Amino acid sequence: MEEPFFFSNKNYRLFSILHHPADPKSLHGETGVVFCDPFAEEKLWAHRVFVNFARLLSKNSYWVLRFDCMGHGDSDGNYEDANVETQLSDIRRAVGVLKEKARVKNVMLLGARFGGTLSALAAANVDEVDGMVLWSPVVNGEKYFQDCLRSNLTTQMTTYRKINYTREQMVRDLLGGKAVNIDGYLISPEFYKQISRIRLNEVMPSCKKPLLMIQIHKEENARIDKEVQELQGALKQAGRPAQFGTVKGEPFWRELNTFPQRLDALFATTLDWINRQNDPAVSGSGDPSRLTETRAGTEKGSD
């Protein structure tokens, strides 16, 4: 069963869909997963993969809450009114709503791209969150935002055949209090300032909650990105319970020549890890040998 509804946070309403577990009496029924969407237009491209993974989890008797942050999707507000703080507030509220409606004991966050980043930040600060799954998260907010600004340049080039408004000008405008357009979404100066300060390497080592981070690459056996390797090193040094891996798949948060609806390897690996958090004795269809564990300075697996 999938139940669409709106819930309130502060003075606005957020759209959400609650996926009920196939067997609510199952041990898995004590766990719920809140999905955290990617940034701006990446959310739309990723949507169907999120829906299908939510359905897989609910078939495996987990509760899932998917929701739209303020100013995004079907929720109230405009994107220019949103920022990192409002999105973290929305995630915190979504966790509370899942606990109220499903009466679950454990809540995990699952996010892709910037949604992964938000998941990590929320997990570090919200007591009710017990673990997190990050799919190709944004590790360095400033670098990511500069990449986003490049898409504005691409639009200018194709429209006007020249760059009228450079990245430096856009950043100056943001710092001067003017919103900037990224793929049709107005980004407020506050959002820019908050996103630019994010460095997961600095935040995550203090978080003791279980973590699965999967990088999605087009090629088999791709190396984990340098930034993620550094993050892995920082977590290892701090003795945190984290697992890292890569899976082959299309970057489903971008416009592609195909319409990805599910990534089998990503789904199997993630489901297997979530199953293990609920029952360490379980063996699943995922391939845990592809994951590298960083807990307490030990490493296993081969990536």
Residues forming the site for another protein (CB under 8 A): 2, 4-6, 13, 15, 17, 41, 44-45, 47-48, 51, 72-74, 79, 147, 150, 154-155, 157-161, 181, 183-186, 218, 255-259, 261
- How, if at all, do strands 292-293 and 242-248 pair? antiparallel
Tokens for 280, please give them.
């360490």
Q: In this complex, which beta carbon is closest to another protein, that of residue 75 or of residue 119?
A: 75
Minimum CB separation of residue 181 from another protein in Å reads: 6
Q: In this complex, which beta carbon is closest to another protein, that of residue 13 or of residue 92?
A: 13
DSSP 11-54: TEEEEEEEEPPS-TTSGGGGEEEEEE--STTHHHHHHHHHHHHH
- CB neighbourhood size of 224 (10 A): 19
Whole-number Å distance between alpha carbons of 220 and 300: 19
Q: Give the 3-state secondary structure of residue 273.
A: helix
Q: In this complex, which beta carbon is closest to another protein, that of residue 192 or of residue 273?
A: 192
Minimum CB separation of residue 73 from another protein in Å reads: 5
Minimum CB separation of residue 185 from another protein in Å reads: 6
Whole-number Å distance between alpha carbons of 234 and 246: 18
Q: Which residues face 18 on adjacent strands? A: 3, 65
Minimum CB separation of residue 44 from another protein in Å reads: 5
Minimum CB separation of residue 269 from another protein in Å reads: 21
Whole-number Å distance between alpha carbons of 126 and 121: 9
- By the 10 Å C-beta count (0-12 exposed, 13-18 middle, 19+ buried), 302 is classed as exposed
Q: In this complex, which beta carbon is closest to another protein, that of residue 25 or of residue 161?
A: 161
Q: Give the 3-state secondary structure of residue 202.
A: helix
Minimum CB separation of residue 262 from another protein in Å reads: 9
* H or E segment and range at residue 155: helix 141-160
Q: In this complex, which beta carbon is closest to another protein, that of residue 71 or of residue 141?
A: 71
Q: In this complex, which beta carbon is closest to another protein, that of residue 150 or of residue 300?
A: 150
Q: In this complex, which beta carbon is closest to another protein, that of residue 225 or of residue 230?
A: 225
53: closest CA among 93, 100, 15, 108? 108
Q: In this complex, which beta carbon is closest to another protein, that of residue 41 or of residue 303?
A: 41
Give Cα separations from 20 to 63, 69, 203, 221 (angstroms): 5, 21, 33, 35
